[in-house]
Amino acid sequence: MSTDSELRIVWVYPDLLSTYGDRGNLLILAQRARLRGIPVRTEEIRTDEPIPAEADIYLLAGGEDAPQTLAAERMLDDGGLRRAVEHGAIVFAVCAGYQLVGSAFAAQGRKYAGLDLFDLTSDRGPSRAVGELAGPVDPALALPLLTGFENHGGRTHLGPGVRPLATVSVGVGNDGHTEGAWTKGFIGTYAHGPALSRNPALADLVLRWATGRESLEPLDDTWHDKLRDERLAALAARGKDLRHAA
């Protein structure tokens, strides 16, 4: 993003990919940018519209199996997200959106081609992963504990081109051991919550990448902290106390 222009954030296919309040990720990013005086333009690109290739940040959200397969087909035909990534755009992808940016995913008993933008692939697990998801983030990112909730049937396997976003302390994530994936300019996660509300430091990482700023002025995170504290207290009540690592 050039310093005098606005930050363009695109939410891809809200009509297909929009489970569990993941739209909150768009609201959180836009608000945290505006509070720093960064002008923002948000765009919600529906399935019947072309995906613009010139935006700064692309958000992909969760979705049920059938909409997910439709979204994959449309995005492959469209090509806009691929062009955007080639230009250096940032991608933040959750659950179905996370699976979609890999080389393949499984749904409705079949294997589907993904967008093959990042080095990961998904298949199906033995059971649905439903519940809280938490664990320490890759130390290279210097972020606090990841917290969220998950609801997915898929399992994700990472290639050498990406690193796990976190290690799983509670929940399943990719495979019961690691959760999500990242490489510079890309974050993929199974965490809903919305993820960027439960993890505002992750939102700021995305904003730093997109703006090229090394640091952003701190914000009042009272409400985010309250939400994190509540969920971590709920885990502690079930015998998994991660508050020391939060």
Task: Look up residue 60 and give its amino acid.
Answer: L
By CB under 6 A, name the one of 43, 116, 151, 175 that touches ligand GLN.
151
By CB under 6 A, name the one of 18, 25, 42, 68 that touches ligand GLN.
68
- The CB-side HSE value for 36 (13 A sphere, CA atoms) comes to 20
* Annotation marks residue 192 as catalytic: yes
Given a contact cutoff of 8 angstroms between Cβ atoms, the answer to whether 96 and 114 are in contact is no
Instruction: Name the E strands within 77-162.
Output: 90-94, 104-107, 110-113, 120-135, 146-158
Residue nearest to ligand GLN (CB): 62
The active-site residue, picked from 87, 95, 152, 244, is 95
Site string (98-137) toward ligand GLN, x via CB under 6 A: ---------x------------------------------
Distance CA 57, CA 129 (A): 28
| By the rule CB under 6 A, 153 interacts with ligand GLN | yes
Distance CA 71, CA 146 (A): 27
* Annotation marks residue 152 as catalytic: no
Residues binding ligand GLN: number (CB under 6 A)? 13
| By the rule CB under 6 A, 154 interacts with ligand GLN | yes
| By the rule CB under 6 A, 152 interacts with ligand GLN | yes
The active-site residue, picked from 87, 157, 192, 224, is 192
Site string (11-30) toward ligand GLN, x via CB under 6 A: --------x-----------
Given a contact cutoff of 8 angstroms between Cβ atoms, the answer to whether 118 and 183 are in contact is yes
Distance CA 184, CA 37 (A): 24
By CB under 6 A, name the one of 56, 65, 78, 204 that touches ligand GLN.
65
- Tell the burial category of 234 from Cβ atoms under 10 Å away from its Cβ (0-12, 13-18, 19+): exposed
**Smallest distance from the beta carbon of 111 to ligand GLN, in angstroms?**
13
Provide the 3-class DSSP secondary structure of residue 32: helix
> What is the contact surface with ligand GLN in residues (CB under 6 A)?
19, 62-65, 68, 95-96, 107, 151-154
Known binding residues: 128
Known binding residues for substrate: 128
